[in-house]
Structure 1
């Protein structure tokens, strides 16, 4: 049985055009980019071409692009590198960030660093006013994600960056879920740092970008070699870098069409779920105005008690439909989603939730099948609960 995949916020399949761009660097052009011979120089040129291409797509400078192993490394590197670079001892973030931001921040508390958590509203949004009121003379960095990976809320990044700039505080945003879905322009937004991961945009796993604006007080975190102008040690992942560049190019070129497709699927899914489940069905986070590709929903019994979201997910999997119960980095955890708890939902509501995330190859027919399968599964679960 072929699976229907609705978990694109976790990862995406590799686009064949990306694989075609990578293949020569997996086979005949296999040189280490730090080697002085011809094969090494070929790899080095490919990396610098990719750096220039990605910089152009972000409206950045090539010297501001640092290749990493993905979003988690980029987030760790910027949080820890900013603390070292600024010499200050305060981080401002929110309780619904990705754990790749929260855990590094928490680890620094043992070194005397203070973490200020800004409370999001019920849709998961932090305002620029909140940031302005929280910044102090000790603030080393503000880190707030652009698009939330579980509920799809979109923070007002441009306004937040302006507040940070006025206060002289570096601003970082995890843009892993916004690249390829909504426009990202570092000069227009005015951010100092951002994180990108290739496998969320039909690129390869294990490669990402950390953008750090020139002049930003940041110290390299991962050491051990002269790669990336001594900003990130380790043998360069040449095929991954080439694949990331191609994936970003396609994501930006096709953004308008893909985003329109995601929006249409999301709206169609909400309409279908409304018709089938009425008051049993709730949208977690923004019902309108969120990211086009993420829909987080909860299903409650008539007495407002939560159903078992893990069982719902497993039953859908048996039917060949792939969804998730939140971030792929925390799947299998017994605690409720920190994002859903963070926007004020109770434990029953959190535990009865699933995330549906759309990709460019999904269809309305697949959405209809998902909703129809959900109806039968929920009927069985409600009968068992009763």
Structure 2
């Protein structure tokens, strides 16, 4: 079977920069090298990955190379990423474009991507699934809420199908997941990435937290909630100040038997995390286990897999570079100055140490 895949070398031969990306029916990766997969390799996500590694926040062992994977029908223009990689002289990141047709009807079974997914898995040592927009509810068998906004369906189809191939799910319990033969393979799912892990294994979603979990209909009602009950900054909805962040910072409650419990110095600590989402996990997928909740126990904040201990999903954003920069001040209220950074407010045990522990412990799994 011909592989519907295009691989774009990050390090282009001098004098060939203006040529189109080469097409190949062969998926070629040096088996002697170690690779980490980055899903949705936008310029911003590549920059984020570079910052975390170079700053030693994510102390990935030397010699690792990254493979950025995306679908040809995604909305983002990945030629921007190619240009960035070339201009910055980055020689340890390559891009893979998948062109196979996918739809909600064929993503949770063997399909035209199966061979590509298998080769990506077999030639990598772990994967990161970044945040993003709402998952099409058709992917988990529900109708679309008026507050659900679908902007990049093919990204979801591919990422959900890849995760199903790796983890399996309730959609077909006879399917043999790739991790069955490599159960220690690490996967980190951030925000959308965590939601995708759950949906790929057969779970469902609350399509809007304020209306479905709190019964609220107005912004003014949301602002009456405690800070720990707000999962994004709805001040942005007023549109009066484009510099206001969409992020909210709230605490989480870690389950005592969770591996995340070792990421804080004692069980009285409820670290502050950065959230920016309006949907969350509802019914759990096959094998999914909860590691942390929101402080009121309504929103799932972290998950793992019962059979595959190195799967970690977090509903928050430990990858955001500003969490680690003292000079990056937070502007949360329209028309008011930004005065304090995350480190000013939640440094050390209040939240910073927990964020760093996530990356430090993930890096250990790549040794």
TM-score (norm 1): 0.26
Give the structure, 1 or 2, with the largest relative contact order (CA under 8 Å, sep 6 or more): 1
TM-score (norm 2): 0.27
Higher share in helix? 1
Q: Larger radius of gyration, structure 1 or 2?
A: 1
